[in-house]
Amino acid sequence: MTFRTELAEASEHDFARTSWTLPGRPGLLGEPAVPCVPVAPSVDPDEVQPTTSRAIAMSRAGTRAVTGARISRVSFRSGFVSFVGRPNAGKSTLTNALVGSKIVITSDKPQTTRHAVRGVLTRDDAQLVLVDTPGLHRPRTLLGERLNDVVRATLADVDVIGFCVPADQKIGPGDRFIAAELAEVRAPVVAIVTKTDAASKPRVAEQLIAVSKLGEFADIVPVSAVSGEQVDVLAGVLVGHLPEGPQLYPDDVLTDNDVETRIAELVREAALADVRDELPHSIAVTIDEVTRRESGLREVFATIHLERDSQKGIIIGPGGARLKKIGTTARPAIEALLGEKVHLALHVAVERDWQRDPKKLDRLGF
């Protein structure tokens, strides 16, 4: 099992660019489970497995890099990559880091992502269509069931799957549940240890070993979307598993999500800030209208939907202060998206128990 990494420090050794390999036979999990040690750059990569630097350099040159396989020349690769993991595993932040632009909202609240959001990374040698999905979990509501359906439908149609596990949290039942689901899929699975900036290097090494025991993975890559460490390495590894194919989107396209959906998500992101308990799950946002005044100013009318009357007071706040804060937080992001000044008008409505009502879920776009 090879861990694709460019970490500068491991154990007592210090190599600028290495592939971390578990003790034991090349490419196999060894026992006992102890922190990884790096393969020195002087070792013949063909005798063990391609080092990260060599593999990624080959990938950038238009060749395929696959762990444990000979490298063959190709022209252009394209395909779909889906990130899956339990809620709050860093999937959305990682999607934004790979694309190089914020196309998915982020929050420390679980289940922030509710739709399959596509981001596009275009390189000279390949085009990755990244599909960020809701966190796979054991559902407690009809909404949760539908979100899981979105994940499973996505996994059935993609070329590569990225299984995200945070470095700063121990492996839990949710991770094992997802690993068991992934054992049944046809696409290669790349395990991604996320949030390495939030953990020490020894802790990252321990997590790499723990993740390797969850299943058979094509590669295991530690990455920090926040610091950018290993993001390019991960992109190269994912590209190495894509099939040959044509470019699917123009060079300047970063996402295929429509503008109104992105505006609604930016409002919801602002509304999620500083709320707790069950309220984050009860918030949905729809765009009622996008118009333009005679003066030329763009107007956006949006509704924040809640499940109970008691939640309105929390979202509106004393004298409307919290609702105003939501607007002032969301507006700059919407203006950046549209490229012009915007007047944002927010309305709050109650859709009682909408997470459990099929008709209301349909109406809200789920």
Bridge pairing between strands 18-21 and 37-38: antiparallel
| pLDDT value at residue 357 | 67
Rounded distance between C-alpha atoms, residue 196 and residue 191, angstroms: 14
Pairing relation of β-strands 126-132 and 160-166?
Answer: unpaired
Q: What is the mean pLDDT of residues 155-172?
A: 89
Residues 181-235 pLDDT 10s: 899 888 999 999 999 999 999 999 999 999 999 999 999 999 999 999 999 999 9
- Determine the average pLDDT of the residues in 319-346: 92
The whole-number pLDDT of residue 360 equals 67
The reported pLDDT for the residue numbered 282 is 77
Q: Please give the structure tokens belonging to residue 157.
A: 């149609």
Rounded Cα distance, 322 and 276, in Å = 14
Nearest to residue 81, comparing CAs of 205, 218, 252? 218
Q: Is the dihedral of CA 227, 228, 233, 238 positive or negative?
A: positive
Q: Which of 105-119, 288-302, 316-330 has the lowest mean pLDDT?
A: 105-119
Q: What is the mean pLDDT of residues 256-261?
A: 81
The residues, ordered by sequence, that sit 6+ positions from 205 with a Cβ below 8 Å of its Cβ are: 10, 20, 35, 36
Domains and CATH numbers, the chain: 75-240 (3.40.50.300), 259-363 (3.30.300.20)
Higher per-residue pLDDT: 32 or 208: 208
Which of 6-10, 33-37, 203-207 has the least mean pLDDT? Answer: 33-37
